Amino acid sequence: MVPCDTPADAIFATPDILLLTVNHLVDACSLHTLSSLSLVSKLFREVLRSDQLWRDLCHQRWKGKWGFQQRWNRALCEYMEWKRTGVIPCNFRTFDGSFWRCKYLAEEQDSRRQSIYAHELRELAFDFRFWIGQPNVVDGRIVVQSGLLESASREVRFVGVSEQESNEWWSAQGELTGHPLRPEERIQWFLDERSGVIQWGIVPNLWPKGKMRRLDSWGWEILNPNVVLRAIDPSDFSLRSKHDFLVDSNGVQRAQDEEVRLQNDQRGVGGNHDDQRDVNCYLWKDLLDDIEHVPLMNAPMVNGYPVTAEIPRTFLEQYRMTL
């Protein structure tokens, strides 16, 4: 029994009881809340330093984010490796003895990174959509439908990475596959890893330069004035094993046990499982919800019909333009 230093300690009595309570009270997104609770008593500070609490907070924080399954499996693997060898992951800026606390902070830091490395880009598949779709007559007006409503390709990949130092603006290049317009031709891509600027096309005729961007979901987006691409969550593919990051047989078995233990919780968070598979429901929802009917300034009337375009407001703001 832990000595009771405060009335709060007397109520919760043991770290285990307090841990069960704190897990339901603490928002994984609020480090300020955790800091405040640590001031309550010595027992609270002890619990808030525990690996068990931070492990649960990691799961709670990541389960609604892009790439959850791989991120969670990788963390379990790294934890097993640390327990076995004492080697900490290279992305830990500091290590205070709590693996899961440091892992939480490292992932928060990485989620704010706006530039992508060429080897990361190579591993992703993208959903490719046009900003502008086809015109249609709706209720006595011409509506240029949004191209975001339908995927042009879900197999766009940036492959054949080669990196080099040169006087060019780019630091890595390769071949783009799965493009919906020119699937039979060799399309090359060029990336500046530091700035996130990316461009592709059939040399020497390249399409407009685009920009890599990190989303609030922690996923990756590429946008230029013509198109927008979003990285498909690797968990949606059966091409890659769920346990790619596990390093030894014991680690595999233990990590699989951990995954099974949390499987029901993971499924319960996102609501209907079929909705999670609906790409418009989770990958494009923010842009689709942002669509407005914008009058075409350069052609407000065609053959007596008013003309509007379905455009997300974020597109207009991004490119500082009116249609």
Q: What is the mean pLDDT of residues 154-162?
A: 88
Residues present in the chain in total: 323
Taking only the tens place, the pLDDT of each residue in 28-78 is 556 666 666 555 556 666 667 778 888 888 988 898 899 999 999 999 999
Nearest of 218, 214, 233, 220 to residue 70 by alpha carbon: 233
pLDDT at residue 277 is higher than 70: no
- Specify whether the CB–CB gap between 38 and 66 falls below 8 A: no
Q: In this structure, what are the phi and psi dihedrals at residue 276, rounded to the nearest 5 degrees?
A: -65, -30
Quote the pLDDT of residue 198: 96
Quote the pLDDT of residue 234: 84
Quote the pLDDT of residue 41: 59
- The number of angstroms, rounded, from the C-alpha of 73 to the middle of its chain's C-alpha atoms is 16
d(CA 19, CA 34): 12
Least reliable range by pLDDT among 4-18, 166-180, 183-197: 4-18
pLDDT at residue 250 is higher than 60: no
Quote the pLDDT of residue 112: 92
Query: Which of 164-168, 195-199, 293-297 tops mean pLDDT?
Result: 195-199
What's the distance, Cα to Cα, between the start and end of the chain in Å?
A: 70
pLDDT at residue 6 is higher than 70: no
pLDDT at residue 14 is higher than 60: no
Q: Indicate the domain borders of the chain.
A: 1-48, 65-112, 118-230+279-319
Quote the pLDDT of residue 307: 85
Quote the pLDDT of residue 318: 78
d(CA 274, CA 277): 5
Q: What is the pLDDT of the chain when averaged over all its residues?
A: 76
Distances (CA, A) of 207 to 109, 159, 200, 215: 33, 18, 6, 23
Quote the pLDDT of residue 126: 97
d(CA 154, CA 128): 6
Predicted structure pTM score:
0.75
Nearest of 9, 78, 87, 81 to residue 46 by alpha carbon: 9
Per-residue confidence band for 235, with pLDDT thresholds at 50, 70 and 90: confident
- Rg from Cα positions in the chain: 24
Taking only the tens place, the pLDDT of each residue in 102-139 is 999 899 999 999 999 999 999 999 999 999 998 888 87
- Specify whether the CB–CB gap between 96 and 102 falls below 8 A: yes
Partnered with residue 312 across adjacent β-strands are 291
d(CA 227, CA 203): 19
Quote the pLDDT of residue 228: 97
